[in-house]
């Protein structure tokens, strides 16, 4: 699905260009936050800030996985379907006891591993484009979920999941702490482990990676499995926040997670970008939604803002990218 | 007996190969699957056997046919258009909302929404050229803006069309559905343009090898603008068809044509990488999907399983026969 053959992949994380790309978003994030604090009444209130962070956390968890897949030149459209399926699984056990968290986690992760493996198999072994493979998986999973819930998902989640998704310790949302732990794990994996370095190599130049002995297919496969696992965790965090379940929990997260990741400076061409950037992207996107509401615009206006922000973000990055 | 069977199979395979050389293997397989679906339908249901049902299947392909045609041309050029649902949401709700039952406004508004659909496509093409970003991102961003504008205009289906407007969707001349026939005519025109005219060949050239096409002087800008404009225009035709069929526009954008339009293209043997394939496969793909849904309905299989089956068919199509073709090429 390449449109411009001229974009040569680069393996560069410490160069000036990458610095501009990453810090551009940080600066934007700070300006946005300060601007909102000054001009949007109510943004500063501790309640609202906590709200933004709580909202950003589930998206952040999904973005971690999306980031891995995009780093190896793919993307994962099945994340929202995985989230909703995990949410449905979370309500399928006895909600009165916290012990059901164990089967919920087991079954959700198992489901995620299966979905991720099928995605990875189709992309690596059958050479299906990531777009189609994950799209078809999304539809299949959707059918399974609707058939299982007979079209009307209902039920409640155990108290523990509810608490993890919506409570706060000393004003810090618990789900944000969960996101931080997961981010550190993924971040360290990318920077400090052989697997993480191979992800950048495969994304930067698959042919070269193969020549130096990296098993490209295995690395790519691993990224799809991890993306599904993180999406399932994101679904559990989200359903803990929302409290109730329907068949569309996480709707829109597939595109929002791609947008946040790309805004965060992770190149769709693969091999470039960081977890931190992607997370800031997720935060900025959530903040923008929050600000449009605080400024008194109708909810529908979020759509327009979202579209314009994506276009601006890619335009700015490409300007930085070309003028190096 | 055995001797006969042994010689029949190779002969069939040889026939398949000879046909495939003409129209591509995907098209042959599609025809085979459609025939198989009809055989299953004939076997399981009395009602399936009526000629009226066959015409119904044909009639119901109309909405999907327009968007799938546009999507095919975009994909042939190496791109993808994910702004179809937003386009349909805006054009359909504007049409029924503004006309609001007044017969004198119907014709000008149809012209207006066709122009709007075309404009959305042109904006897609222009931004792709300007930003040089993957069409997936650009068309999604444009879709978000268009969807937002639609929802700012109305959150609920509003207005309505004058009496007799449903003739576009349900009208028949000598028992042949008007809308569906028009859709097939559109396919024929596009097929002719793709096969026999310079712009058509340029779309294939650009989709197959963009860098080479640029070097040999293919007007890249014109090609990109043309394919997205055509896709936008065809999406607004689906919008008009839906208003005619349902009586009112749907502003929510959950018509699911973005993804549904890709299925027939892929089934028809046009790979997402562009440059190869054609609209005949897509037309058969649309018929295949519609026949499948029809048969599954008669089998009393719920919509939920229909989604699953469609997803599995897409996986099968892309991972089995198209894949082999790529390796051979």
Q: pTM of the entire structure?
A: 0.82
Give A-chain residues touching B296 at CB under 8 angstroms.
Answer: none
Nearest CA in chain B to A150: B304
Closest partner residue to A143 among B155, B259, B304, by Cβ? Answer: B304
Q: Within a 10 A sphere around the Cβ of B306, how many other Cβ atoms?
A: 17
- Give a yes or no: residue B17 inside a domain: no
Residues counted in chain A: 324
Predicted pLDDT at A1: 42
The string of DSSP codes covering A125-144 is: TS---HHHHHHHHHHHHHHH
Q: Please check the confidence at residue A82 and state whether its pLDDT lies above 90.
A: yes
Beta strands in chain B (DSSP E): 172-173, 176-177
- CATH number for B310: 1.10.3470
Torsion angle of alpha carbons A105, A107, A109, A113, nearest 10°?
170
> Cβ–Cβ of B307/A140 closer than 8 Å?
yes
For A42-70, what is the mean pLDDT?
90
Q: Measured between CB atoms, does B177 come within 8 Å of chain A?
A: no
C-alpha A275/C-alpha A67 separation (Å) is 7
CA distances from A211 to A16, A126, A205 (A): 28, 21, 10
- Give a yes or no: residue B149 inside a domain: yes
Counting Cα atoms < 13 Å in the Cβ hemisphere of B210 gives: 20
Determine the CATH number of domain A16-32+45-322: 1.10.3470
Burial of B12: CB neighbours in 10 Å, binned 0-12, 13-18, 19+: exposed
Predicted pLDDT at B22: 64
Ramachandran region, residue B55 (left: φ > 0; alpha: ψ -120 to 50; beta: rest): alpha
C-alpha A232/C-alpha A85 separation (Å) is 8
For A62-88, what is the mean pLDDT?
93
C-alpha A95/C-alpha A157 separation (Å) is 5
Q: Find the domain containing B203 and state its range.
A: 29-40+51-328
- Give a yes or no: residue B213 inside a domain: yes
Give B-chain residues touching A6 at CB under 8 angstroms.
Answer: 211
Q: Between A174-192 and A159-166, two packed helices, what is the crossing angle to 10 degrees?
A: 80
Closest CA to A27 of A311, A305, A284, A294: A284
Residue B109 neighbours by CB under 8 Å, 6+ apart: B94, B95, B98, B99
C-alpha A154/C-alpha A95 separation (Å) is 12
Closest CA to A72 of A272, A271, A275: A271
Lowest pLDDT segment from A66-80, A149-163, B94-108, B226-240:
A149-163
> Cβ–Cβ of B133/A305 closer than 8 Å?
no
- Give a yes or no: residue B46 inside a domain: no
- Give a yes or no: residue B2 inside a domain: no
Span A21-32, pLDDT tens digits: 556 777 778 888
Residue at token pair 């130049």: A205
Picking from B71, B89, B144 by the largest number of A CB atoms within 10 A of its own CB, the best residue to mutate is B144
pLDDT band at A5 (very low <50, low <70, confident <90, very high): very low
C-alpha A86/C-alpha A234 separation (Å) is 9
Closest CA to A287 of A3, A27, A9, A29: A29
Torsion angle of alpha carbons A207, A212, A217, A222, nearest 10°?
-120
C-alpha A295/C-alpha B16 separation (Å) is 64
Q: Please check the confidence at residue A6 and state whether its pLDDT lies above 50.
A: no
- Give a yes or no: residue B133 inside a domain: yes
Q: What angle do CA A55, B258, B191 make, to 5 degrees?
A: 160
Kindly report the average pLDDT of chain A as a whole number: 84
State how far residue B182 is from chain A, nearest Cα, in angstroms: 30
Predicted pLDDT at B230: 97
Residue A172 neighbours by CB under 8 Å, 6+ apart: A53
Q: Mark the ranges of chain B whose per-residue pLDDT is less than 50.
A: 1-2, 323-329
Closest partner residue to A300 among B151, B302, B315, by Cβ? Answer: B151
Span A239-264, pLDDT tens digits: 988 877 887 888 888 888 988 888 88
Predicted pLDDT at A32: 81
Span A188-240, pLDDT tens digits: 999 999 999 999 999 988 899 999 999 999 999 999 999 999 999 999 999 98
Span A284-293, pLDDT tens digits: 888 888 888 8
Residue B12 neighbours by CB under 8 Å, 6+ apart: none
Predicted pLDDT at A3: 43
> In chain B, how many domains are there?
1
- Give a yes or no: residue B20 inside a domain: no
State how far residue B72 is from chain A, nearest Cα, in angstroms: 14
Predicted pLDDT at A156: 81
Residue at token pair 């009809």: B38
A89, A108 contact by CB (below 8 A): yes
């Amino acid at each position: 699905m390449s449109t411009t053959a001229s974009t040569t992949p680069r393996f560069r994380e410490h160069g000036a260009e990458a610095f501009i790309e990453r810090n551009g978003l940080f600066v934007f994030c700070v300006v946005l936050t300060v601007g909102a604090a000054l001009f949007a009444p109510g943004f500063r209130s501790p309640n609202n800030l906590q709200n933004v962070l709580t909202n950003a956390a589930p998206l952040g968890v999904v973005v971690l996985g999306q980031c891995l897949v995009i780093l190896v030149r793919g993307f994962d459209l099945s994340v929202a379907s995985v989230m909703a399926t995990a949410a449905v699984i979370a309500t399928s056990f006895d909600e009165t006891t916290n012990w059901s968290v164990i089967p919920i986690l087991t079954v959700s992760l198992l489901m995620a591993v299966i979905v991720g493996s099928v995605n990875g198999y189709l992309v690596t072994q059958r050479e299906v484009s990531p777009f189609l493979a994950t799209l078809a998986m999304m539809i299949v999973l959707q059918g399974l979920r609707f058939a299982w819930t007979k079209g009307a998902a209902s039920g409640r989640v155990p108290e523990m999941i509810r608490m993890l998704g919506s409570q706060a310790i000393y004003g810090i949302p618990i789900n944000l702490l969960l996101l931080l732990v997961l981010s550190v794990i993924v971040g360290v994996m990318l920077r400090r482990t052989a697997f993480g370095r191979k992800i950048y190599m495969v994304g930067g130049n698959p042919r070269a990676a193969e020549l130096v002995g990296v098993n490209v297919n295995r690395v790519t496969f691993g990224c799809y499995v991890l993306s599904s696992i993180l999406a399932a965790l994101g679904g559990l965090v989200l359903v803990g926040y929302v409290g109730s379940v329907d068949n569309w929990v996480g709707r829109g997260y597939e595109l929002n997670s791609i947008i946040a990741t790309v805004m965060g400076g992770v190149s769709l061409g693969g091999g470039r970008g960081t977890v931190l950037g992607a997370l800031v992207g997720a935060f900025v996107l959530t903040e923008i939604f929050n600000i449009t509401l605080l400024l008194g615009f109708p909810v529908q206006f979020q759509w327009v803002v979202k579209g314009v922000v994506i276009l601006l973000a890619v335009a700015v990055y490409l300007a930085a990218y070309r003028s190096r | 007996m055995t001797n006969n069977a042994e010689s029949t199979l190779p002969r069939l395979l040889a026939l398949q190969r000879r046909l495939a050389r003409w129209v591509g293997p995907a098209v042959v397989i599609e025809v085979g699957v459609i025939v198989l679906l009809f055989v299953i339908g004939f076997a399981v249901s009395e009602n399936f056997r009526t000629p009226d049902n066959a015409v119904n299947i044909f009639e119901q392909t109309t909405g999907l046919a327009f968007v799938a045609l546009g999507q095919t041309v975009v994909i042939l050029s190496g791109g993808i258009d994910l702004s179809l649902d937003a386009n349909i949401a805006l054009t359909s709700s504007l049409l029924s909302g503004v006309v609001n039952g007044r017969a004198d406004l119907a014709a000008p508004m149809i012209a207006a929404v066709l122009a709007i659909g075309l404009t959305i496509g042109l904006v897609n093409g222009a931004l792709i050229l300007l930003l040089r970003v993957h069409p997936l991102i650009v068309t999604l961003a444009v879709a978000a803006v268009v969807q937002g504008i639609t929802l700012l205009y109305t959150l609920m289906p509003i207005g309505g069309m004058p009496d007799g407007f449903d003739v576009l969707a349900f009208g028949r001349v000598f028992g042949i559905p008007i809308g569906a026939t028009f859709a097939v005519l559109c396919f024929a025109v596009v097929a002719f343009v793709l096969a026999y005219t310079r712009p058509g060949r340029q779309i294939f050239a650009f989709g197959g090898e963009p860098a080479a096409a640029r070097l040999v002087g293919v007007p890249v800008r014109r090609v990109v603008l043309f394919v997205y404009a055509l896709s936008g225009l065809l999406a607004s035709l689906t919008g008009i068809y839906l208003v005619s069929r349902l009586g009112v526009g749907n502003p929510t954008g959950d018509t699911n044509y973005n993804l549904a339009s890709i299925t027939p293209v892929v089934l028809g043997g046009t790979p997402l990488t562009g440059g190869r394939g054609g609209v005949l496969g897509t037309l058969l793909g649309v018929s295949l999907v519609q026949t499948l849904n029809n048969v599954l309905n008669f089998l009393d299989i719920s919509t939920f399983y229909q989604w699953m089956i469609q997803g599995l068919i897409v996986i099968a199509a892309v991972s089995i026969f198209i894949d082999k073709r790529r390796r051979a090429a």
